[in-house]
Chain A
């Protein structure tokens, strides 16, 4: 009796250990796959061109070579471009945060006729690929008449921040439907008593929202803000349409390597790859730093906002 129990326990322990080894291997393998592109970028950004042809060199270059960073840094005019990008991204993500919070709250806590229709519109903006409305948006902002209010030729808003301002403030920017959805889910799960207490105290809707709801919504708002920030920072689609000649990171990064090679009159795939990888490291480094510091809010945020419930 006790011998068989002992044997059973023994095999259970063996099974447990075997599984944790298998699990460790799987997790490490996946981490490797995720880090792989980063490793490739970092190592090739530190290489001389000859290193790429050297069979002895796998990932570690023969010696650290920082010249690539110097060239790319100069061509990207990194300090200026970085500042522009940071300001643009901060502005856009804060505006999107403000509008999506208000809109999400409106959907979550009030009932009116046509509400579900309007919410269906939110879902609709998520389903339609932005590529489909790209050309009309481009033309509307190129010849912007404020929908008939300004005289015919209109003004050219391309190259300015106004397209971003308009779409962000109205919750129709990049992936804003998702942010509205997240805020709506979050506010829906908040207890009703809070508002009722505020209403009994005689607070109006706006006051209740600002004083009672917002302080409790900070974690969800932080999540939305971080997502908006990261996606705007990475965005090439809208940025390259609205700001095709501006000194912002995605646009400058895309053309840096070609500009360098044109200037030195030397065009080669390997060298282009080295320069591109160097630029990409400069581009994602700020994001990685932010993520390293704030990763908690990205990950826990999604769990806590009740996006699931």
Chain B
């Protein structure tokens, strides 16, 4: 009789403690996240006017969505561009981060320093600096100069590959990737660290067994390293998608902001925000379900 009762109160006490510890988040989530989130949906279907001592909402149905998609001169174009840019960047960043992590996992002199430098963009290439840099006159000048003359510029490579009769779409992908090398490297800091941590958590015994079996390093990579890291490919892809959608240099992020505070109206800006969120949600769902099919789980 005493046993089960004791266990019940104990599990109830457990539950209560857990609730208490996470209570701040539950409160904050409702007040500073869910409520604004729902308000945002409501704003997107209203005409919002600032009046003395507050604001007034006048329901307008889907008018703001119609304006954003059909009337606004820039939105649709910027929106499509932002989505495509993410779709192009994410695989490149994940592949690069994977490659860089494998590189940094090898023993060589200066490896610690290289790691410190590879992670540097997370420290200094965020927020306001990244934003100002992308608009900076000197950087733009240097960038165009490099793209015109450099050996590895997209334009030069494009001519070369065109001669080889490479299909146009592949061609465009490769050349845009080459032009975006700096951006891709600078967006991969966290992802490299995550892959690196994953590489170090692969049990040594697996590689030792592979050596006994006489695996080549090619086989070791495809049969051990890649499957063991596949869950992290999913994690990093999701992280990268979210990151590239919310970074301050994303043109759509800028547009949503300038519409709100630059006179375009809070309602219209909210509608743009909602459409943007929906596109992220759809892309995350599709990417997640595709990638998780290839994920190998050890246990």
Contacts and interface: CB of A to CB of B under 8 A. Distances in A.
Contacts of A134: 256-257, 260, 273
A112 B257 CA distance: 40
Interface of A: 20, 23-24, 26-27, 30-31, 33-38, 40, 44, 52, 99, 102-103, 105-107, 109-113, 115, 118, 121-122, 124-137, 139-140, 143, 147, 152-154, 166-167, 169-172, 180, 205, 209, 230-231, 233-237, 250, 253-254, 269-270, 272-274, 276-277, 280, 283-284, 287-288, 291, 295, 298-299, 302-303, 307-309
Interface string B43-60: 100000000011100000
B221 interface: no
B43 A38 contact: no
Given A139-B55, A171-B25, A302-B193, A129 B129 contact: no
A204 B36 CA distance: 37
Interface in B10-38: 11, 14-22, 24-29, 31-37
B182 A110 contact: no
A44 B138 contact: yes
Nearest to A291: B123
Interface of B: 11, 14-22, 24-29, 31-37, 39-40, 43, 53-55, 100, 103, 106, 108, 110, 114-129, 131-133, 136-139, 142, 181-182, 185-186, 190, 193-194, 196-198, 200-201, 232, 242, 245-246, 248, 253, 256-257, 260, 266, 269-270, 273-274, 276-277, 280-281, 284
A38 B124 contact: yes
B21 A254 contact: no
B276 A131 contact: yes
Give the interface SS of chain B, mostly helix, strand, loop or mixed: helix
A253 B281 CA distance: 34
A136 B273 CA distance: 12
Given A34-B186, A134-B273, A167-B28, A287 B124 contact: yes
Nearest to B241: A127
B263 to A, nearest CB: 14
Given A250-B128, A273-B137, A143 B123 contact: no
A303 B197 contact: yes
